[in-house]
Structure 1
């Protein structure tokens, strides 16, 4: 057999070949009858024709599964061999009870609902075969048959029969009675004459009259014969088919009729189709017997072949080959793998420019075809689906219906017709699936709401807790634990259940695990005794009862307060919002989305038996809008679900969620009474959309939105949030709410479970969609100022409201007199910020001033940290400056002084402060100066304008005292000229003189000024010295030395400010005697020259001699101002202690007035005036150890036990230099040191 080209078959199907010579036509429908397919059926035809022509083959099988194309093979064969004398018997329609051949009701009429083709009785099948046999041929071909059937009466045939009968009868009658013919002619002519007709006209009228009469008779006869009925087919006494002889089969009873039928006709081929659907193998046996009888009947001279179209598994292998003489297998045209290609052809798919196949007539994708086609494996079903799809699409004319969903519904209808019928009656597995969806959604929502309740309770507890910190509650809890039997125990540590000890401080830490306090069976408190040295312990009694009663409350509060601040609170709010979003999502989930999210376990039991239906539900091809695809829409009708919704409103029992889809909005809306619109049960997304868009002026709209304000529960508020999050018609919704829902924003603001960003989103919607009066009402509801407070409390509020019109925000701020405490400019509308800052709509605090500066001069903002007022002045913002100056003292206190880091104000800013405050609050000025470490280069610039003199002096004094001006003669002059030399100026000059004298002198710094400085008692000597060093007087300044201290006089002498004259010597001697020596020494040359004329007393001489700064050469002359004989002990000591050239007579007198220590020094300093012999005597007089050296007659060594010090060594050195001794090395023994002196022999 030639291999079947399946690809060519599919292409032929797709090409839309003509069927029965009739194309699809412009309507696109295709009949369900077999198709002729010559090309693809070639081998089948060849095999079948061979078998038919084979004399031995009388029973042929065309075997293949349903839809394989067996009927198409038969049709193709008959088209190829049109001369075939065939009968076609098809039993496909025998799926319902029928009437028997004799007209009686068959007992199949009482079949149960689960009746199938398997239940059809054989007699019914046989009767059906007989009917198709005998009704195939004209009754004239089988005149002897006892089967009678109604024959259609032909009107014109009856008419012509009557006409012929009349003509024949007339001819015979006139032939027998020729005289009558002449009389008849005369009668016709006479009657015509009566009407003035000639002969031929009279004949014509007569003939017409005869025709009319015959037409009338024909009409009457046809009417009578048409209303005549035969009650049943009477086969005679032997062949009558009735229920009285049920034991004998129809074939047996009618065997002679069947044989007579084939004997009387020329049919030699009988095609029997669909007999296998009844699963009655016996009928095939009877047909084979019948075929044998027919072929063995001698009067039938031809072979009669029975060809059966059956399924492959009708018989077992051995039965098939034994029963049939020849079997032709038919390969299926369509199966799960190629049905998609065929469907694409039926739906006119074409390849687009993008390479994707698309239907040119319908919105059906290639992807959809490949998904759905494997479920349809029968060509007739596939064709019928396409036909019904066209009918439904053209009947249910609406743009809302989607082609893919409609095609899915039609496919479901064809594969599950019973379930489709159930669905139309709002019953069945599909309806149950959507009901189970609602049940599951409600259950899931309840679970999620149960998760939300404790989280929201935590936030509410935290918000309402009077102790706002976790640490404080821990203190309270520990206090609760430490109180036992009327005694408080100061806790050092706690030991729980004989486990670890936890110190008081450890428990107070934020990360301490509070679960350790759960399930306490024993609690031991460790504490210090009152003396603070010994640790004691106490076991708390009834700890389990204490924890069960009050302790658990503390634990709950502590656990809750972990969420009071920081990321934990944010995390908890996010969890609540995510759960609420999930609830809203679930509420609006389609069945498809619900299955995708939660799986298919909630679908009804038994859904797995409907694989294709399950596929449609999972992919959303059958969804909540299924009713639109199976029913006409009647203008005033509503669905059952919509009726349930209305009933739930009446009963005040919510039956539908917010997302329930109302399809017939106008009809549902008309059925809701005005008052019912306020109920929570009425709340619905789609109804709200309808109210907003189509009910602009209706009363029920007012009632509906009025319910939001009247509802004291949470339903309307929850709906508000969910509707907004849904994202459709939000602006219209909020606009309408603002007319009625006065508490809307207050409820939102107090909702602890909302993130701030969500609240701002809602507030933006309110501000953008409400009138100003509505905003004011909403803000002032319950005197709460809820909008104002919310905006003021968050510095980012304006940025978060940047989606609101600037003009609206400005009007709200103005109307509600909103005064901001803190504003973050980032993201905020510049127009709004400018309005706030220009109209003083803010508190004057550091944060707000920073925001103002940042807005106008962001480059200056950093200066506010340490130079606040300087930055304000540099910014030159008039409104800000005016506001500050109007309350300048407050500003200074809070900003300049109040900000610790503000210590770098520029001098110009400080000068401005001084000039504004000096005359009214000098203390505040001093405080500013004390903090702002500014220095003036030019003192005149401080207090330059509008400062009273006394205030200026006070400020300048402060500057001097704190060295806050540059140390210059210019600044000295400024103060000096204004206030003279004051204590403050003197101190400043003393402290800064070294810098002052280095500065440039002004013209005003003259001798008088310098004299005043020097003579000021508070000017120190050091200061005078520096001035004297740097200021050279051209003319001598006269000083009253009697009023100057000695050190200052001495300095002036040294600096030659007091110049030398003999006359001054006497003045100084008398008025400043302590400076006499300094004066003489400073001018020693002039003094010595004038010495003869200057009298000196002993005190003055001693003073001059003791002055080591006076050159020794001058001291002999000074000493000689007194005679040697007038030597006093004081003068002797002076001579002894000073080494200078002196006459021996003075030394001798001095020796006499000195003790040994004095003499010793005298020898040290003046030994040179004595000879060797005199030295020996003087050593003897000196006595002690020194006397050992007095003998110089021979060279010898003496050990002198004297202190090793400078004076002794100097004397030994002088003796050695004089040649009295040669050496004096120092020696040490175990106890002391001594000199080993070698005396030189003289």
Structure 2
């Protein structure tokens, strides 16, 4: 016996509901004998049964019979008339339940076939009576022969024991007993004949009625007297018909009303209390006002629960069970909006208690467990399919790869659109909208006067167009043979805005003016990062307002081409519940963990599917999520790592973290990447930014020429190449960095990258050590985007080429000087104005190179004073 009180909830109607006005309404029914057909109407699980059960408990003198059809399913007729057949089935089920609730002794005359348990005692007594009767008849018929037989016996003790049977008085007694037995049997036969018409049945087969015989005829019509007999002898004041509305066969109500009328007509003549029929129905069972014609009284039942108040019921039940604190209240509030049935709510609670108890051996999210149970109760068939690897939810998650591909395709389209904008902006030769307007306006018209001035008064075409825009109503153009005409400039400008070519060029110029190229490039990088994120995303992270309808319209096509559109699920009024649970991650890729027991050494469905993909050589996405990489690895062989199907981010991460123990597997995987030059996998893994340091360190060691290959043939973007170079300097050993710098490919790449110092939170010491190790010398540095601390370190360590542009840059940003002609004519004076600066020392050590630079950039004019010139001449490096 469990020590914890789980407070399970019954799904049966309660008998302690608050009646209030319902009590008055039901009393009114029983106070008026002319009210015989009563409806309790309301939606499913509104509490109709509970109202009646409570009323019955308060009025035990009212005798009730229940006819409930909730557990039956409607059956379709083979004859092509399902309505008629369904009506016959309903009638049969009603009679079947009625017969089995009435004491057989009260309906001895019924011809309906009812199987009853036969009393063994009665069988023994009947057998004894019949046997005795036959013995007595034989005794009387063969009395004298019996006497002679007894007299001839040689065994004296036996002869003495049977001698009394030869007495003539025994013959008289036997005759009297036979007569008595015959009378009893005759009485029984007459009674049975009166009740069962047994002799007619023996002569004419088929007289006995069997419910559910192979016949579509109405039982109520064909056996009306039998039906009336059953109802009259039911000894009930009320017969309650429950859930018949689930069949949607309204004709049955007409038959029952007719039967009620016939029964009560007879009861009225006999001055007996009428029998009432109560119908528990949903509100929409009849069209328009039909129901008020059929029923004598209708009691509407206000639902005890709907989507607006089910949250309170959740709180009440889970608090009573001690589980409320396990849930996120926001989740409960959201879930409760879709639960409008008290029985379902109670069953969700009951099942949660059991599931939570049975699978709590692992740390599961209780919100997700409750979500799975809610889904199980609302869509039990799809839940059953899900356990078999089928159904809507299974298909939804199986198609996640396709959803990701579509999202990646959409992002690629956005990237191409931005790249096209960049191309148009770079290709545009004009610098202003006025120039563009001049191209289109002046090529179409021969402008003569603007604002009363001849066009010769305007020096440039741009000035002319500006004047035209400032004076749109004072522009004239020449028309051959007609002279000057007024130009409707406003109309012409509006026409330009409808010209696609003009619009594209105008937008390109605006981007050019606003210096949007860098912003557009940043947008591309953001989109590429978004691609990387999406590839490793869960389904809920993929769903957006734009694609939600497309995702949840998923269908399944089997191997023979049959398509399952899951129309039954999508047409359900509860379908939004699935959207809510999946979209918010309450049902996600881990759903299998919440459906069965967990054994530590057993494979999850997800991991098993990955191993099958390796075996079947059907690769899954690199980002396919593994639940237990360690267990997956234990089922793999080293030879498996030679194949592309093994490539998986989670598995690689596990190998990297456990490298000392699994070096052979990791080496085999990295060698495969080198052999196949799988830059796609490498790029996506780096974008995922998981175990980056271990990966770069390991692959650089295995594949020394990887950076050269990345530069030449990988298809990596400049940003990706830069990032790999940074990772290499961060995480690789000096020996590996030098080996990687094949033909100075790494140092040359870094040195020629003006934006290389644009690094967020750089590891400065690592970078400077790496730059120095491979001889990086920057040809130009974009100071505006550079990390300032990193720039200072590069400057301090003289890791830049001595060029005029860089010298000027340092004079501006380090020396704090404003650019002037002195930069060209008095440069050395400015440099040595701060003798301790690294630039001054760098120049003095490379004075010959510096002199050549200045001779090329001084414009044949050097204005340094004589002491400065002497310092150059006396420099030991000259």
Determine helix, strand or coil for the equivalent of 1:71: helix
Task: Map 1:911-922; keep pairs closer than 5 Å.
Answer: 911-913=870-872
Select 1:382's aligned residue among 342, 345, 350.
345
- Cα pair 1:339 1:377 within 8 Å, conserved: yes
Q: What's the counterpart of residue 773 of structure 1?
A: 735
What CA distance in whole angstroms lies between the structure 2 residues aligned with 1:732 and 1:420? 42
What CA distance in whole angstroms lies between the structure 1 residues aligned with 2:837 and 2:238? 116
Q: What's the counterpart of residue 381 of structure 2?
A: 418
| Residues 1:121 and 2:89 aligned together | yes
| Residues 1:32 and 2:1 aligned together | no
Q: What's the counterpart of residue 612 of structure 1?
A: 574
Select 2:40's aligned residue among 58, 62, 65.
62
Q: What's the counterpart of residue 325 of structure 2?
A: 361
Aligned pair in 2 of structure 1 residues 56, 409: CA closer, same or farther (>3 Å)? same
Q: What's the counterpart of residue 391 of structure 2?
A: 428
Aligned pair in 2 of structure 1 residues 744, 631: CA closer, same or farther (>3 Å)? farther
Deviation at 1:44, TM superposition (A): 1.8
Deviation at 1:73, TM superposition (A): 1.2
- Cα pair 1:389 1:406 within 8 Å, conserved: yes
Q: What's the counterpart of residue 1196 of structure 1?
A: none
What CA distance in whole angstroms lies between the structure 1 residues aligned with 2:832 and 2:281? 108
- Cα pair 2:623 2:648 within 8 Å, conserved: yes
Select 2:686's aligned residue among 695, 706, 724.
724
Deviation at 1:788, TM superposition (A): 1.2
Deviation at 1:125, TM superposition (A): 0.6
Q: What's the counterpart of residue 280 of structure 2?
A: 309
Determine helix, strand or coil for the equivalent of 2:661: coil
Select 1:827's aligned residue among 788, 800, 804.
788
| Residues 1:657 and 2:616 aligned together | no
What CA distance in whole angstroms lies between the structure 2 residues aligned with 1:284 and 1:890? 110
Deviation at 1:293, TM superposition (A): 6.8
- Cα pair 1:32 1:384 within 8 Å, conserved: yes
Q: What's the counterpart of residue 869 of structure 2?
A: 910
Q: What's the counterpart of residue 584 of structure 1?
A: 532
TM-score (norm 1): 0.46
- Cα pair 2:92 2:211 within 8 Å, conserved: no
Aligned pair in 2 of structure 1 residues 909, 642: CA closer, same or farther (>3 Å)? same
Aligned pair in 2 of structure 1 residues 361, 448: CA closer, same or farther (>3 Å)? closer
Q: What's the counterpart of residue 1099 of structure 1?
A: none
- Cα pair 2:835 2:841 within 8 Å, conserved: no
Determine helix, strand or coil for the equivalent of 1:601: helix
Select 2:652's aligned residue among 679, 682, 688.
688
**Residue segments in structure 1 that go unaligned for 5+ positions in a row:** 1-24, 98-106, 154-233, 350-357, 461-468, 472-498, 500-565, 925-1242
Q: What's the counterpart of residue 274 of structure 1?
A: 243
- Cα pair 2:14 2:50 within 8 Å, conserved: yes
What CA distance in whole angstroms lies between the structure 1 residues aligned with 2:829 and 2:253? 117
- Cα pair 1:869 1:909 within 8 Å, conserved: yes
| Residues 1:600 and 2:549 aligned together | yes
- Cα pair 1:64 1:312 within 8 Å, conserved: yes
Deviation at 1:74, TM superposition (A): 0.3
Deviation at 1:72, TM superposition (A): 1.4
- Cα pair 1:452 1:576 within 8 Å, conserved: yes
- Cα pair 2:220 2:227 within 8 Å, conserved: no
Aligned pair in 2 of structure 1 residues 901, 645: CA closer, same or farther (>3 Å)? farther
Deviation at 1:424, TM superposition (A): 2.8
| Deviation sequence 1:215-240 (CA, Å, 0-9, x none) | xxxxxxxxxxxxxxxxxxx9976757
Determine helix, strand or coil for the equivalent of 2:279: strand
Aligned pair in 2 of structure 1 residues 815, 695: CA closer, same or farther (>3 Å)? closer
Report the aligned-residue RMSD. Answer: 5.6
Aligned pair in 2 of structure 1 residues 881, 268: CA closer, same or farther (>3 Å)? closer
Q: What's the counterpart of residue 1080 of structure 1?
A: none
| Deviation sequence 1:244-281 (CA, Å, 0-9, x none) | 79668499879779958976x86433333223333445
Q: What's the counterpart of residue 305 of structure 2?
A: 334
Q: What's the counterpart of residue 700 of structure 1?
A: 665
Select 2:763's aligned residue among 788, 801, 804.
804
Question: Which deviates the most, 877-886 or 327-336?
Answer: 877-886
| Deviation sequence 1:360-405 (CA, Å, 0-9, x none) | 4243334x55555454333222332333344444444377754444
- Cα pair 2:83 2:249 within 8 Å, conserved: no
Question: Which deviates the most, 312-321 or 879-888?
Answer: 879-888
Deviation at 1:776, TM superposition (A): 2.1
Deviation at 1:675, TM superposition (A): 3.6
Determine helix, strand or coil for the equivalent of 1:397: coil
Deviation at 1:133, TM superposition (A): 0.7
Higher relative contact order (CA 8 A, sep 6+): 2
Determine helix, strand or coil for the equivalent of 2:305: coil
What CA distance in whole angstroms lies between the structure 1 residues aligned with 2:245 and 2:422? 74
What CA distance in whole angstroms lies between the structure 2 residues aligned with 1:341 and 1:261? 43
Question: Which deviates the most, 389-398 or 856-865?
Answer: 856-865
Aligned pair in 2 of structure 1 residues 916, 440: CA closer, same or farther (>3 Å)? closer
Q: What's the counterpart of residue 674 of structure 2?
A: 709
Aligned pair in 2 of structure 1 residues 398, 777: CA closer, same or farther (>3 Å)? farther
Determine helix, strand or coil for the equivalent of 1:765: helix
Task: Map 1:856-875; keep pairs closer than 5 Å.
Answer: 866-870=825-829, 875=834
What CA distance in whole angstroms lies between the structure 1 residues aligned with 2:578 and 2:516? 45
**Residue segments in structure 2 that go unaligned for 5+ positions in a row:** 121-195, 202-206, 430-443, 445-513, 555-564
Task: Map 1:507-546; keep pairs closer than 5 Å.
Answer: none
| Residues 1:836 and 2:797 aligned together | yes
| Deviation sequence 1:383-430 (CA, Å, 0-9, x none) | 323333444444443777544444444333333333333333222333
Deviation at 1:333, TM superposition (A): 2.9
- Cα pair 2:42 2:300 within 8 Å, conserved: yes
- Structure with higher Rg: it is 1
Task: Map 1:1006-1155; keep pairs closer than 5 Å.
Answer: none
Aligned pair in 2 of structure 1 residues 116, 822: CA closer, same or farther (>3 Å)? farther
Q: What's the counterpart of residue 65 of structure 2?
A: 87
Determine helix, strand or coil for the equivalent of 1:331: coil
Determine helix, strand or coil for the equivalent of 2:669: helix
